[in-house]
Amino acid sequence: MARGAASHPNVYDTAEDGFFAAPLSQDDERAGSARCYLTAPVRARRNLEIMANTRALRVTFDGTRVAGVVIEQAGEEKTIAAREVVVSAGAIHSPALLLHSGIGPAEDLRKLGITIAADRPGVGRNYQNHAQLHLSMTLKPGSRLPAAAQHYIMTGLRFSSGLEGCAAGDLFHYFTGRVSNKPFGRRMAMVAAALYGPVSRGVVALRSSDPNASLNVEKRLLSDPLDAQRMIIAARHAESLLLDPTVRGCFEEIYLMPRQAPLRLINGSGLLGAAKAVGAAAVLASPGRLRRAVIGAAIKPGRLIADESAIYPMADDEILDACGAMFHPSSTCAIGAADNPMAVVDPKCRVYGIEGLRVADASVMPSIVSANTNIPTVMIAERVADFIRSPR
Ligand SMILES: Cc1cc2nc3c(=O)[nH]c(=O)nc-3n(C[C@H](O)[C@H](O)[C@H](O)COP(=O)(O)OP(=O)(O)OC[C@H]3O[C@@H](n4cnc5c(N)ncnc54)[C@H](O)[C@@H]3O)c2cc1C
């Protein structure tokens, strides 16, 4: 804020750059859609059947109209007849389900021996996700969260790369006051640097017509040079905030974390988890040289980038190597106009070329939203529910 960034009391009131308290879908615990929508009265509805341990394998058709869904339960295939089907398997599995059903790029499907129901080249294309990296800090005693503090993510900062052709608010930091919900977790904090307006696009494709075969998911994060450039800007911005003289006194060391953060080394449940927590607490309380050696070995190819006596600057390549995807896959069954060959669904989320079939999840976003994706996905589901209720 000393650098002139605004502070927004409510992030939903503005799209301007600035700090805000991170909105969390949380009451006493994480508030996911399954828990919040499938309440006891909803589960008791006579027109609802929830089939656990069931996998949808493909949609079936009568000509160009939906006829049903083939499912797998306990190793057995069954067909359920349906006049209307809504696919909500997420941005990886919804396109896979459509592809297994014969909706996708005709040439690719033919090669796999899948009968074509609708030639839609956009199915599985256009994958988008937010890229991010983490810097972690060992906190001095006076900078640690009080034990009663509940939340993991405390604060967000939306800011702009200012590069030509890039929308405002394309970069994002979130600040977390702990790395684990165990007591030692408050001994470390983290700053994430993320790209919230990517242009890179990846692919989700089938390797085989066998529904048990693994999918080919090519994220292609940062494949567009503009994205790589902006990710470096975001990482350098995080570094400069942490190295600011007014902040630097809060911690002993800063580490660049690797793409796959080794959280399994410190988190876990049961006896093993308790033993790991004791070990992590002992490492964090150990003298500086030992602490740096143990953490340095655990986070390779991440590394120490600053301690109380020196800064060990990050190279651009190191920054790019440390970037991974957030849990925000999207855009693989994109909404688009009827004359857009890469569009998979129309603005009411109906699959082009097939009657009675919709997709309702993060896969229909034409481009990934510049925000976390859970609430936008819930909004998509609410809109599709409205479309189904009022067809006109
Ligand atoms: C660990 C984690 C943390 C996250 N934290 C946040 C956060 O803090 N804030 C935020 O905004 N977003 C967060 N997200 C992202 C958010 O959860 C997603 O954007 C959102 O859930 C996407 O919804 P979806 O319906 O597209 O897909 P999903 O939520 O993945 O739902 C798809 C469902 O379909 C099921 N499925 C898949 N294939 C089949 C099949 N063949 N047959 C039957 N069922 C199938 C899956 O099991 C799954 O239940 C997080 C995601 C993860 C994984």
What spacing in Å lies between the alpha carbon of 127 and ligand 1's midpoint? 15
pLDDT at residue 121 above 90? yes
Domain boundary residue among 270, 302, 325?
A: 325
Q: Is 58 in the pocket of ligand 1 (CB under 6 A)?
A: no
Residue nearest to atom 4 of ligand 1 (CA): 327
Domain boundary residue among 293, 325, 357?
A: 325
Q: What SS3 state is found at 41? A: helix
| Residues 28-51, mean pLDDT to the nearest whole number | 93
pLDDT at residue 2 above 80? no
Q: Is 360 in the pocket of ligand 1 (CB under 6 A)?
A: no
Assess if residue 242 is contained within a domain: yes
Task: Return the closest-CA partner of residue 65 out of 346, 350, 385, 336.
Answer: 350
- Do both 246 and 379 map to the same domain? no
Assess if residue 346 is contained within a domain: yes
Q: Is 372 in the pocket of ligand 1 (CB under 6 A)?
A: yes
Q: Work out the pLDDT band at 1, boundaries 50, 70, 90.
A: low
Q: Which of 35, 327, 330, 345 to mutate to test the pocket of ligand 1 (most atoms within 8 A of CB)?
A: 327
Assess if residue 38 is contained within a domain: no
Assess if residue 2 is contained within a domain: no
- Do both 63 and 137 map to the same domain? no
Residue nearest to atom 50 of ligand 1 (CA): 327
What spacing in Å lies between the alpha carbon of 73 and ligand 1's midpoint? 21
What spacing in Å lies between the alpha carbon of 361 and ligand 1's midpoint? 9
Per the annotation, the verdict on 130 as an active-site residue is no
- Do both 72 and 18 map to the same domain? no
What spacing in Å lies between the alpha carbon of 90 and ligand 1's midpoint? 6
**pLDDT value, residue 306:** 96
- Do both 368 and 221 map to the same domain? no
Phi, psi angle pair for 72, to nearest 5°: -125, 125
Q: Which of 373, 378, 383 to mutate to test the pocket of ligand 1 (most atoms within 8 A of CB)?
A: 373
Assess if residue 384 is contained within a domain: yes
Task: Return the closest-CA partner of residue 332 out of 200, 203, 224.
Answer: 203
- Do both 176 and 270 map to the same domain? yes
Assess if residue 195 is contained within a domain: yes
Interstrand relation of 357-359 and 85-87 (parallel, antiparallel or unpaired): parallel
- Do both 135 and 247 map to the same domain? yes
**Using CB atoms within 10 A of its CB, is residue 57 exposed (0-12), middle (13-18) or buried (19+)?**
middle
What percent of the chain shows pLDDT beyond 90?
A: 83
- Do both 251 and 363 map to the same domain? no
| Domains in the chain, number | 2
CA distances in angstroms from 273 to 21, 145, 269, 282, 377, listed in the order given: 31, 22, 4, 14, 33
What spacing in Å lies between the alpha carbon of 324 and ligand 1's midpoint? 18
Task: Return the closest-CA partner of residue 127 out of 259, 217, 35, 3.
Answer: 217
What spacing in Å lies between the alpha carbon of 194 and ligand 1's midpoint? 20
Q: Is 94 in the pocket of ligand 1 (CB under 6 A)?
A: no
What pTM was computed for the model?
0.94
**pLDDT value, residue 266:** 80
C-alpha to C-alpha distance for 91 and 367, rounded to whole angstroms = 12
Question: Which atom of ligand 1 has the smallest separation from the CA of 375?
Answer: 11
Phi, psi angle pair for 47, to nearest 5°: -95, 15
- Do both 153 and 287 map to the same domain? yes
- Alpha helices per DSSP H over 129-223: none
**pLDDT value, residue 25:** 80
- Do both 139 and 231 map to the same domain? yes
CATH of the domain at 270: 3.30.410
Q: Work out the pLDDT band at 183, boundaries 50, 70, 90.
A: confident
Token pair of 63 as six digits: 């000509």
Active-site pick, 93, 100, 173, 328: 328
Q: Work out the pLDDT band at 27, boundaries 50, 70, 90.
A: confident
Q: Is 137 in the pocket of ligand 1 (CB under 6 A)?
A: no
The answer to whether the CB of 354 falls within 8 A of the CB of 118 is: yes
**Using CB atoms within 10 A of its CB, is residue 378 exposed (0-12), middle (13-18) or buried (19+)?**
middle
Q: Is 151 in the pocket of ligand 1 (CB under 6 A)?
A: no
Q: Tell me the residue range of the domain where 366 lies.
A: 51-127+329-389
CATH of the domain at 86: 3.50.50.60
Domain boundary residue among 310, 325, 340?
A: 325
Assess if residue 139 is contained within a domain: yes
